[in-house]
Amino acid sequence: MRLTVDGQRIEISTKRECEPEKWNSSAGRKNGAKEDVKLLNAYLDTLQSKVHDVHRQLIEAGRPITAESVKNILVGSAVKPKMILEIFHEHNDKMSKLVGTDFAPGTLERYKTSFEHTKEFIKYKYRTADLEIEKLDYDFIADYEFWMKAVRKRSHNTTMKYLSNFKKISLLCIKRGWLACDPFHAYKMTKHEVDRQALTGPELQAITTRDFGQGRLAQVRDIFLFCCYTGLAYADVFKLKRSEIIDGSDGEKWIVIKRQKTESPSRIPLLPQALSIISVYDEHPQCIARIGCYQCCQTRR
């Protein structure tokens, strides 16, 4: 039996025999009216019908149709179905090996959290530990959004953030030919605008003068104020080194760094308030040990 799909041809043995002079090449069947002829032709009819059934199954499942995929199902050696959480876990495992070069630790943590949300949703919705990638469709995404908001009580923007992480996994499946259609095709991922008010002068002063003692909260306060007076993100402050604070041509102190998120160079003049915070930690043992200017102000969140 010969299967041809898009020019790719595969031959499969029917495991039956026929005398060459009794074979009808145009009909693909054996000539004759005896019982053994009827049995052989009926078997070939069944085999041909099974090929059409497999073809239909692949179309309905949205899986790639190739001569190889049809043959694998026919002979019972179909490839193990790809599972959503398996693919997600493999993605996170590869990402963990690139932390520090291509990805920040925080990015990995967000994808790990997204993986756990996906795992809980599949268990909640489908009552199973994992789900075949072929089941990933628009309804899956819409139900995932509803579950995040109604069951997990997450905000709209937080829900969109986790769906955005999950979308990367579905795109990987599409690129590798494991998924025929994009489940996000008709799904609109929009975030609500959030009106964030800037701190006023009095509010910033109140934080500055608040007595938190000498413990962790005081360090957290100093980190926040340093970010306010430099415009740096926490990640940039955490990795700031003494060597990145230089004397500028104007005689003032400047920070010269590469921003972690954008990898763009930045030159930032240090205001007196920021210099005052640096001086507090200038001789701090933790700063000296880590060769950092402000790394001692890290805190676990």
Mean pLDDT throughout 151-164?
94
What is d(CA 149, CA 77) in angstroms, rounded to the nearest whole number?
41
Length of the chain counted residue by residue? 301
d(CA 161, CA 107): 12
Which residues does 98 contact at the CB level (< 8 Å), separation at least 6? none
pLDDT exceeds 60 at position 11: yes
Among residues 143, 141, 187, which one has the least CA distance to residue 166? 141
- pLDDT at position 300, please? 36
pLDDT at 298: 43
Residues 233-259: tens digit of each pLDDT: 888 888 888 888 888 888 888 988 887
Dist CA 204 CA 212 (whole Å): 15
**Residue 102 and residue 158 in one domain:** yes
Q: Give how far Cα 58 sits from Cα of 20, 74, 84, 131, 238, Å.
A: 35, 12, 18, 17, 52
> What phi and psi, each to the nearest 5 degrees, are found at residue 187?
-100, 125
The residue among 87 and 76 whose pLDDT is bigger is: 87
Does a structural domain hold residue 105?
yes
Give the E-state strand segments of 189-287 in sequence order. 245-247, 253-258, 265-269
Give the confidence band of 78 by pLDDT, cuts at 50, 70, 90: low
- Within 10 A of 219 (CB to CB), how many other CB atoms are there? 19
User: Which domain covers residue 272, as residue numbers?
Assistant: 201-297
Tell me, yes or no, whether 209 and 283 share the same domain: yes
Residue type, 44: L
pLDDT tens, 108-133?
999 999 999 999 999 999 999 999 98
144 within a domain of the structure (yes/no)? yes
What is d(CA 156, CA 185) in angstroms, rounded to the nearest whole number? Answer: 19
Structure tokens that stand for 227 in this block: 């970010």
- Whether residue 195 lies inside any domain: the answer is no
Identify residue 245 by its one-letter amino acid code.
Answer: I
Q: Give the pLDDT score at 290.
A: 56
Q: Tell whether 152 and 226 lie within a shared domain.
A: no
Q: Are residues 17 and 67 in the same domain?
A: yes
Per residue in 43-55, pLDDT (tens digit) is 999 999 999 998 8
Position 294 scores a pLDDT of 45
Domain membership flag for residue 192: no
Q: What is the pLDDT of residue 183?
A: 92
Q: Tell me what the pLDDT averaged over the chain comes to.
A: 86
Per the structure, the count of domains in the chain is: 3
